[in-house]
Structure 1
Amino acid sequence: MYDIGTRRRALALVAQGRSLNSVSKETGISRAAISSWLARIEPLPRMRSADPGPPVDDAAYSYLLGLYLGDGCISPHPRKGYYLRIACADAWPGLIELCREAITAVRPEVGVHLLQRQGYVAVTSYYRHWPQVFPQHAPGKKHERRITLEPWQQAIVDAHPWEFIRGLIHSDGCRITNWTTRLVAGEVKRYEYPRYFFTNKSADIIGLCTKTLDSLGVRWKRSNSVNISVARKASVALMDTHVGPKY
């Protein structure tokens, strides 16, 4: 009656300590069905080790992909396969929570842990399939190797471009307010204007960002080899609507 993804999500919610009543209300699945899965009366089939299946939530994946390309890494774990870590600065508690929620939405069956480090939180999740979920994983730093999206990833980004841009900006970008002065009728007046920046050492990741901005009609300008900016009023307004400042 229920597909594997729905059943996995329900069991993942129970594993988080939620009551059967609350999980039933949120998912619309009866308590009896959830209880039967917990009792292994109706066990879930195992996924093949090399195929974790598609992301449960494509929009969340597009956002998480942006975060991963900016401040994420995947490392081997001696017992649990691999762990994904996304570094989120302490200054942005909202970003830490958004990252945690995105991982849970993409893979409801995995746990997410917040590990405090000096000046940042490592949002961490252990899962044997992370290299298949993010095939950009490879030895070495991202900016020292080729970064391209798989066709299935590009299809998700094409369907959810703003989420991808939001993830990139939340990881390696910012929204700031610049100011300048002008002499008007003999009086010096100060003018402020917002702009967005994205910074990354990888030319490929910069290219993924600018290609997506182009598809959204956002005008951008390259400041140097590692920085692009969005400063035109109409484009900043679009970014404010769909991205906004980190918090």
Structure 2
Amino acid sequence: MKFHGAETRQKALTLLREGTTNAEVARRLNVPRGTLGYWLHMDRARRGECPGRPGAKCPRCDGRPLDHAAYAYLLGLYLGDGHISHYSTHRAPSLMITLDDSWPGVQDEAEAALRAVFPENATCRVRRTGCHNIKVYSKHLLCLFPQHGPGKKHTRRIALEPWQQTIVDEHPWEFVRGLIHSDGCRNINWTTRVVRGERKRYEYPRYWFTNVSDDIRRLYTDTLDRLGVEWKNCTRHGRPYNVSVARRAAVALMDAHVGPKY
């Protein structure tokens, strides 16, 4: 890895502040564009210009319109694979959704939802081994995700605020999709039966949702109940852990509104 000294970094920042493009600065100073982007991001953060734009409005504080469908989906993602972090290097907390690289379409959908819910804030993707963190910075994250708190989600009570429940009731399938895209899957199960003395293999689709939090699983199953989707709990070591949707009619409903990850 090539080390770039403080002098090179300062030259790069001076050019970038003057409006020179990342590509041009990278050509002049022989610095990777990704490194330049990181330097510029950290420089803006130190000067209070990043993340987000000054004066970004909040649906809860300022009455800015909120895309309810995108929020319902994003809420499901957050309850499954999301968390809010506070770092001393930034003036605003970040919402991070960690998604497997096996499903690039889900990553795209997650970033689109972030942009719809936070139209005045920039999003980014951070590569990790086998996955990407889809992120947004905003001073109003706790306004929109009051479930944030110390410790892991399954160690504290998770309940929706009345205004959140209203949005989930308006867009229940988006909420279910977000939960499945984070902590769920659609797979093919199989079994065997003896028919006329011959053992035959049968395959059938099933949806799984796996979460340690009793409260989050209950939010999922309560929504399924309102949608008329049959489900059952499956235990691990004697405790509820997985929620299964396997009945043919229920799977058909899930296929029509959720579908496999992509």
Q: TM-score range by the shorter chain?
A: 0.7 to 0.9
Q: Which residue identity does 1:108 align to in structure 2?
A: P
Q: SS in structure 2 opposite 1:226?
A: strand
Q: CA deviation at 1:76?
A: 1.2
Q: SS in structure 2 opposite 1:149?
A: coil
2-structure distance, mates of 1:120, 1:131: 25
The answer to whether 1:64 aligns with 2:74 is yes
Over the aligned positions, Cα root-mean-square deviation in angstroms equals 1.8
**1:120-135 maps to which residues of 2 (within 5 A)?**
120-135=131-146
Q: Which residue identity does 2:129 align to in structure 1?
A: Q
Change (3 A) 1:55 1:150: farther
1-structure distance, mates of 2:58, 2:172: 30
Unaligned segments of structure 2, at least 5 residues: 1-53
Aligned position for 1:145: 156
Q: SS in structure 2 opposite 1:81?
A: coil
Residues 153-197 of structure 1, C-alpha deviations (whole Å, 9 max, x = no match): 000000000000000011000101001111212222211000001
Q: Which residue identity does 1:160 align to in structure 2?
A: H
Higher radius of gyration, 1 or 2: 2
Answer whether contact 1:86 1:124 (CA < 8 A) is retained. yes
Aligned position for 2:99: 88
Residues 56-105 of structure 1, C-alpha deviations (whole Å, 9 max, x = no match): 21000000000000000001133331000000001100110000000001
Aligned residue pairs total 204
Answer whether contact 2:58 2:140 (CA < 8 A) is retained. no
Q: CA deviation at 1:114?
A: 0.6
Q: Which residue identity does 2:79 align to in structure 1?
A: L
Change (3 A) 1:206 1:87: same
Answer whether contact 1:180 1:192 (CA < 8 A) is retained. yes
Aligned position for 2:87: 77
What is the TM-score of this pair, normalised by structure 2? 0.74
Answer whether contact 2:73 2:176 (CA < 8 A) is retained. yes
Aligned position for 1:194: 205
Aligned position for 2:61: 51
Answer whether contact 2:57 2:64 (CA < 8 A) is retained. no
Answer whether contact 1:80 1:126 (CA < 8 A) is retained. no
Answer whether contact 1:55 1:107 (CA < 8 A) is retained. no
Aligned position for 1:38: none
Unaligned segments of structure 1, at least 5 residues: 1-43
Q: Which residue identity does 2:86 align to in structure 1?
A: P
The answer to whether 1:241 aligns with 2:256 is yes
Higher RCO, Cα 8 Å, sep 6+: 1
1-structure distance, mates of 2:106, 2:198: 42
Q: SS in structure 1 opposite 2:86?
A: strand
Q: Which residue identity does 1:170 align to in structure 2?
A: H
Q: Which residue identity does 2:113 align to in structure 1?
A: A
Change (3 A) 1:72 1:54: farther
Answer whether contact 2:232 2:245 (CA < 8 A) is retained. yes
Q: Which residue identity does 1:233 align to in structure 2?
A: R
1:230 to 245, 249, 261: 245
Change (3 A) 1:97 1:55: farther
Answer whether contact 1:85 1:124 (CA < 8 A) is retained. yes
